[in-house]
């Protein structure tokens, strides 16, 4: 097989040539910074000094309580946000798909607009909604006699409140992908199932859901990677508080690098994040991708 590899590469030379314009920026802006970050994690690097310290940064990370809290908060985000987002998107897609194209287009636009909107703008809107004095949410609760809540100021409610914000603006992409996947399922399968007496739930469970497994797997992996990188909502709404309960790995990396100027230590955090995301992605492929044809 190895002997035929150069021959296969030469046979596909035109394909590699056409891929070159996309691969050059990928290596310059993705691969090269990752390699530089891996190298920097072995240094005590600050603004004007750099000293090789080996794996001391990783040893310090193992004892860093704030970083452990950031890992736990990030896992909370992933476990809480990703399944809810994918499930809501699937439910909406199945509900909207039988409707007319105009209605489908409306829902696509309505749910995808937050995806392309600025995270800064959306965070400011949610800051108004959560405001303890004149926020919309507390006003609605006061109408039914529920006392006002410091949504972002209490350790019990801050992290779930941020999770809700992330869910609100991440539904659009999986919804569009699910609608596209539903469009690729042959209608003959549903007609045959109806003739055999299958109800709506049976048609969904035995036809729709199995045939949407590749789309579901793709959504789970991309949403997981995206939620692991939660940053803007934390920076603008809580800055990791109260009492570090909303610290996330990416926000902790930002804070360590650009507030405390410990670039080597921040790079070590980035390496840990890279390993965690890679392991989770592999686990998802192992557990959910067995019946998916690539």
Q: What is the pLDDT of residues 77-94, one digit of tens each?
A: 899 899 999 999 999 999
| Total-model pTM | 0.85
CATH code, 58-288: 1.10.3720.10
Terminal-residue alpha carbon distance, the chain:
21
Please work out, in degrees rounded to the nearest 5, the angle formed at the alpha carbon of residue 277 by the alpha carbons of 272 and 280: 125
**In what helix (H) or strand (E) does residue 25 lie, and over which residues does it extend?**
helix 13-26
Average pLDDT over residues 117-136: 87
What pLDDT is attached to residue 292?
Answer: 59
Q: How far apart are CA 131 and CA 125, in angstroms?
A: 10
pLDDT band at 276 (very low <50, low <70, confident <90, very high): very high
- pLDDT reading at 246 higher than 80: yes
72 burial level (CB within 10 Å; 0-12, 13-18, 19+): middle
Residue 234: closest CA among 149, 120, 141, 134: 120
Contact 193, 200 (CB under 8 A): no
CA–CA separation, 86 and 250 (whole Å): 22
């Amino acid at each position: 097989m190895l002997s035929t590899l150069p021959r296969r590469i030469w046979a596909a030379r035109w394909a590699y040539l056409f891929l070159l314009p996309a691969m050059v920026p990928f290596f310059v802006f993705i691969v090269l910074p990752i390699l530089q970050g891996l190298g920097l994690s072995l240094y005590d690097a600050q603004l004007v000094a750099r000293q090789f310290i080996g794996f001391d940064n990783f040893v310090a990370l193992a004892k860093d309580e704030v970083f452990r809290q950031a890992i736990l908060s990030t896992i909370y985000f992933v476990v809480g946000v990703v399944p809810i987002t994918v499930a809501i998107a699937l439910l909406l897609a199945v509900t909207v798909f039988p409707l007319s194209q105009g209605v489908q287009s409306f829902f696509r636009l309505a749910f995808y607009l937050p995806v392309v909107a600025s995270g800064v703008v959306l965070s400011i809107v949610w800051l108004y909604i959560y405001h303890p004095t004149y926020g919309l949410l507390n006003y609605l609760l006061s109408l039914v006699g529920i006392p006002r809540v410091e949504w972002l100021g209490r350790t019990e409610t801050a992290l779930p409140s941020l999770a809700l914000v992330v869910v609100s603006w991440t539904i659009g992409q999986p919804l569009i992908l699910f609608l596209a996947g539903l469009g690729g399922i042959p209608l003959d399968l549903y007609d045959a199932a109806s003739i055999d007496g299958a109800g709506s739930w049976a048609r969904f469970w035995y036809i729709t859901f199995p045939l949407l497994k590749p789309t579901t797997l793709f959504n789970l992996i991309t949403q997981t990677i995206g939620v692991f990188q939660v940053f803007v909502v934390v920076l603008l709404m809580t800055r990791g508080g109260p009492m570090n309960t909303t610290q996330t790995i990416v926000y902790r990396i930002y804070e360590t690098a650009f507030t405390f100027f410990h670039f080597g230590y921040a790079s070590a955090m980035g390496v840990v994040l890279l390993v965690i995301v890679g392991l989770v992605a592999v686990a998802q492929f192992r557990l959910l991708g067995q019946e998916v044809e690539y």
